[in-house]
């Protein structure tokens, strides 16, 4: 199924899009499954959303942002649509972000209630996360909510599923669909507000760009608190008739390959780091049903392409590119046109502007505008700050061919992607400064064959030590990814005439150190 992208098709709510998909592909079609191996149909999903949503609605207000702290699972999908059925806004919390960032995210979104699972908290040993959030939010365990669903609730959900347009809350395409949080490894995270039209547009753009078969199965081990996992792993399959198989963690390297085989997956979503690990752990027939693999969040290495080809034959690994602010996909390769070293072709309906960057000869800074670009960031007091004139500055330096294929040359924004996670270089500097306040610190990103990138700290602190920095990050509740593992001690950190750090010179110092090693 591939066609021309029609933006008018996005002018509806997400819950209406789900019910329309049910009519189009059959209400009894099994559409969602997770590691519990109990597949559910469109009707089951809609009915469960109304039943759970009715209970959640009694605890919240229309339009309220409600925190969701859950792994990728059928339960997370039901919770997401349960909130939509009653006009609430899911705010997806990253439980790996560090306690400080979680508290900041909850405060920024004005969350009064966070939905989670007692089983998830117990198995993940996330009691400190609950403790960190409980000061400002009511923690609600979904097991207890489900136990309270009685006969009246079930009868109501039965009627609502039969006539969803009569029972669901009325929301518009420009109303918020979700709040996601990006960056902020040490300082405050940024809250990205995506509208219902934004997310539906990105689903439509992907479906117009790559032919998808409703008989396929999408295997998603990526977290739903990341836009790639939410849009690509949940909304795209459900709204285009593909079955979505949700798995709670991409880290289960030995289990996932066999589940890909058992679920008869057609598409695997992952990052380069995880694809390489899965490929090494997989048996020869584990990937036999896959049509292709889609990788985002970090560069796909040549070694990964070669490894997949060597072990599994002509299985395309499609590198894509996106940003949370763009719902998230901006470009992606195609199975029939997979150009290594690029992030693929620009999706239909997206405008681009490439601005020159001083000191960089090739390419330019990419700005994008289109129906998938966010409503804006959450500012102080929850005030929405829309992108200027609709343009989102990606902060990436790119080259683009005449047929709109994109190659990433580097990033202007001071962020690194480590194992698919965005890490602020400025936040890493602030972490070092909080431990060694009397010294000057500069953090740059260097290539890493395993995680894509790594942080390198260049500092004039003579006794700086990576172990102490990591311990400090753990002590103050900062994500460990913000603690550079490589430290270069210098007599003086180079600065520009303005007094700002000369990052070009710092980069050269790090490269010289790497060559000498």
Query: Is 505 exposed, middle or buried (CB count within 10 Å of its CB: 0-12, 13-18, 19+)?
Result: middle
Token readout for 415 is: 């962020």
Does 205 reside within a domain?
no
Among 148, 177, 195, the domain boundary falls at: 195
Could you report the per-residue pLDDT of 32-90, keeping only the tens digit for each?
999 999 999 999 999 999 999 999 999 999 999 999 999 999 999 999 999 999 999 99
The secondary structure of the chain in percent helix, strand, coil, rounded to multiples of 5, reads 40, 25, 35
Q: What is the domain-level CATH number for residue 177?
A: 3.40.50.980
**pLDDT exceeds cutoff 60 at 245:** yes
* Total number of domains in the chain: 2
Predicted confidence band of residue 496 (pLDDT cuts 50, 70, 90): low
Could you report the per-residue pLDDT of 379-437, keeping only the tens digit for each?
888 889 999 999 999 988 899 999 999 998 766 666 677 877 767 777 788 899 889 97
For the chain, what percent of residues have pLDDT higher than 70? 95
- For residue 55, what pLDDT is reported? 96
Among 174, 195, 216, the domain boundary falls at: 195
Q: Of the candidates 113, 115, 120, 54, which has an alpha carbon nearest to the alpha carbon of residue 82?
A: 54
Could you report the per-residue pLDDT of 184-215, keeping only the tens digit for each?
433 457 899 999 999 999 999 999 999 999 99
Q: What average pLDDT score do residues 128-155 get?
A: 93
Does 224 reside within a domain?
no
Does 101 reside within a domain?
yes
Contacts of 223 (CB under 8 A, 6+ apart): 71, 72, 94, 96, 229, 250
Among 160, 195, 230, the domain boundary falls at: 195
Does 244 reside within a domain?
no
Q: Which residue has the tokens 């306040």?
A: 437
């Amino acid at each position: 199924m591939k066609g021309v992208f029609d933006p008018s098709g996005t002018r509806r709510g997400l819950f209406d899009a789900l019910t329309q998909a049910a009519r189009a592909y059959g209400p009894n079609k099994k559409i969602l499954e997770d590691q519990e191996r109990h597949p559910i149909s469109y009707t089951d999903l809609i009915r469960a959303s109304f039943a759970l949503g009715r209970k959640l609605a009694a605890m919240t207000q229309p339009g309220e942002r409600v925190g969701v702290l859950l792994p990728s699972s059928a339960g997370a999908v039901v919770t997401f649509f349960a909130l939509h059925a009653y006009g609430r806004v899911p705010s997806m919390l990253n439980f790996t972000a560090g306690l400080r960032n979680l508290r900041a995210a909850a405060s920024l979104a004005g969350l009064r209630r966070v939905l989670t699972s007692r089983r998830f908290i117990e198995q993940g040993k996330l009691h400190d996360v609950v403790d960190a959030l409980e000061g400002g939010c009511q923690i609600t365990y979904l097991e207890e909510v489900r136990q309270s669903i009685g006969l009246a609730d079930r009868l109501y959900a039965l009627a609502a599923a039969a006539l969803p347009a009569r029972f669901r809350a009325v929301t518009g395409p420009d109303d918020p669909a979700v709040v996601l949080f990006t960056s902020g490894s040490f300082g405050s995270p940024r809250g990205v507000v995506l509208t219902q039209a934004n997310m539906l547009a990105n689903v439509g753009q992907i479906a117009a760009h790559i032919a998808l078969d409703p008989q396929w199965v999408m295997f998603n081990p990526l977290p739903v608190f990341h836009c790639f996992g939410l849009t690509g792993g949940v909304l795209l399959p459900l709204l285009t008739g593909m079955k979505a198989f949700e798995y709670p963690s991409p880290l289960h390297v030995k289990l996932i390959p066999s589940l890909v085989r058992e679920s008869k997956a057609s598409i695997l979503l992952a990052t380069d780091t995880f694809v390489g690990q899965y490929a090494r752990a997989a048996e020869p027939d584990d990937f036999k049903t896959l049509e292709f693999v889609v990788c985002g969040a970090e560069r796909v290495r040549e070694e990964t392409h070669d490894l997949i080809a060597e072990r599994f034959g002509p299985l395309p690994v499609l590198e894509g590119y996106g940003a949370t602010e763009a719902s998230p996909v901006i470009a992606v390769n195609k199975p029939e046109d997979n150009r290594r070293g690029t992030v693929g072709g620009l999706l239909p309906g997206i405008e681009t502007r490439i601005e020159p960057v001083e000191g960089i000869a090739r390419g330019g800074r990419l700005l994008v505008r289109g129906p998938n670009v966010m409503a804006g960031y959450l500012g102080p007091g929850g005030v929405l700050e829309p992108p200027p004139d609709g343009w989102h500055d990606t902060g990436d330096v790119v080259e683009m061919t005449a047929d709109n294929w994109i190659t990433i040359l580097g990033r202007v924004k001071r962020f690194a992607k480590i194992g698919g996670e965005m890490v602020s270089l400025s936040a890493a500097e602030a972490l070092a400064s909080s431990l060694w306040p009397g010294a000057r610190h500069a953090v740059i990103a260097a290539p890493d064959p395993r995680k894509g990138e790594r942080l390198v700290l260049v500092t004039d602190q003579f006794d700086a030590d990576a172990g102490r920095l990591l311990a400090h990050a753990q002590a103050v509740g900062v994500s460990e990814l913000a603690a550079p593992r490589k430290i270069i001690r210098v007599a003086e950190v180079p600065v520009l005439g303005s007094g700002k750090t000369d990052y070009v010179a710092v980069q050269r110092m790090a490269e010289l150190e790497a060559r000498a090693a």
